[in-house]
Amino acid sequence: MQYRRLGSSGLHLSELSFGAWVTFGGSVGRGEARELIAAAWDAGINFFDNAETYANGEAERVMGDVIADLRLPRDGYCVSSKVFFGAVDKPRPTQKGLSRKHVHDACHAALKRLRVDYLDLYFCHRPDPDAPIAETVFAMDALIRQGKVLYWGTSEWPADAILDAHAIARAHGLQPPTMEQPQYNLLHRERVEREYTPLYRQYGMGTTTWSPLASGLLTGKYSAGVPADSRMAREGYTWLQRNLQGDEGARRLERARRFVSIARELGVDPAPLAIAWCLRNQDVSTVILGASRVEQLQQNLVAPQLVSRFDPDIWRQIEAATA
């Protein structure tokens, strides 16, 4: 496993990390969750991603229990949470968003569920149009000063809003956001490759990118319909099937099919090849993997070996086929 700095910060994260969305507290039982975290840790992964909203906090509870059970050394791993959506069905006004109150309450709830004294990374899961950015920046800075959070960041914020957060932090001597958590895969490139460009060089921000397989689409598993045991068939996640519908959906499926056929020609599994493509981008600090089974994770962990295996022409061919 290689480690990359989180932007210009001194934190070194494994270039592959592991997240709990859909799986922990949902499709994956505690025993499998334990096997997944153990396999990730054994492979050198040192960052585990979570959020208050994943299974309404249950994903954090399972992760906290498993990490405690495995007795991972607290100084050897990093764990995250995210605040915005809330951790209950139909949250009341103070149970969601980025107000000082919810940022504060959600952090303390995540600390308990994850069974830790501090969060290494804490994200604002989406921008909140109903909370002033300054209030959120002050709230994050306060948590950092209290030692409850080490690095704060954003997820899927427009670049302009992130620049506003930096300006506020600079004006008041507060901690600015260190990282952004955007979607990044062969089918979704614009934000990471264009919109966020000023954030890397001028502000030293890192990225912890999500859905490297576009929720599994880039494995080819959706080419002939939605398999019964896949994410898009799971209760509560069938909305993801909208990505496969209509003209736009048909185009996405076709792009994924072309990618899978190139992987087959190269003699490699599509999943690690898609992840390797993400790793080629040096503005990516860590690619967060998702897996519902240990075999999937093991297959995906091969990705770093593929980065230098193919010459630039092959990668250009892959990008042209998925454009």
Ligand X SMILES: NC(=O)c1ccc[n+]([C@@H]2O[C@H](COP(=O)([O-])OP(=O)(O)OC[C@H]3O[C@@H](n4cnc5c(N)ncnc54)[C@H](OP(=O)(O)O)[C@@H]3O)[C@@H](O)[C@H]2O)c1
Answer yes or no whether residue 131 interacts with ligand X by CB under 6 A. no
Q: 273 by DSSP, 3-state: which?
A: helix
- The residue type of 88 is V
> Least distance to ligand X from the beta carbon of 103, Å?
16
Find all residues with CB under 8 Å of 94, minimum gap 6, and list them.
101, 102, 105
Q: Which of 16, 55, 278, 291 binds ligand X (CB under 6 A)?
A: 291
Closer residue to ligand X in complex, CB, 137/214: 214
CA atoms within 13 A on the CB side of 63: 33
Tell me whether residue 77 is one of the annotated catalytic residues. Answer: no
CA 51, 102, 117 angle in degrees (round to 5)? 60
Catalytic residue among 3, 54, 184, 196: 54
Answer yes or no whether residue 285 interacts with ligand X by CB under 6 A. no
Q: Which of 7, 11, 21, 67 binds ligand X (CB under 6 A)?
A: 21
Beta bridge partners of 217: none
Q: Which of 99, 178, 230, 322 binds ligand X (CB under 6 A)?
A: 230
Answer yes or no whether residue 206 interacts with ligand X by CB under 6 A. no
- The residue type of 200 is Y
Closer residue to ligand X in complex, CB, 139/263: 263
Segment near ligand X (CB under 6 A), from 136-144, 198-206, 254-262, 286-294? 286-294
Q: For the chain, how far is it from start to end, CA to CA, in angstroms?
A: 30
Answer yes or no whether residue 213 interacts with ligand X by CB under 6 A. yes
Answer yes or no whether residue 288 interacts with ligand X by CB under 6 A. yes
Answer yes or no whether residue 268 interacts with ligand X by CB under 6 A. no
Tell which residue, 213, 140, 229, 178, has the closest CA to residue 7: 178
Segment near ligand X (CB under 6 A), from 1-9, 250-258, 291-299, 306-314? 291-299
Q: In angstroms, what CA-CA distances link 74 with 17, 123, 192, 197?
A: 16, 20, 31, 33
Q: Which of 53, 81, 154, 155 binds ligand X (CB under 6 A)?
A: 155
Phi, psi for residue 13 in degrees, rounded to 5 = -105, 150
- Give the position of tokens 């690690």: 272
Q: Which of 53, 81, 207, 215 binds ligand X (CB under 6 A)?
A: 215
> Least distance to ligand X from the beta carbon of 95, Å?
19
Are 95 and 88 a contacting pair, CB within 8 Å? yes
Instruction: Report residue 111 as tokens.
Output: 């600390």
Q: Which of 300, 304, 307, 318 binds ligand X (CB under 6 A)?
A: 300
Catalytic residues: 54
Give residues in contact with ligand X (CB under 6 A): 19-23, 49, 155-156, 181, 210-216, 219, 221, 230-231, 271, 288-292, 296, 299-300
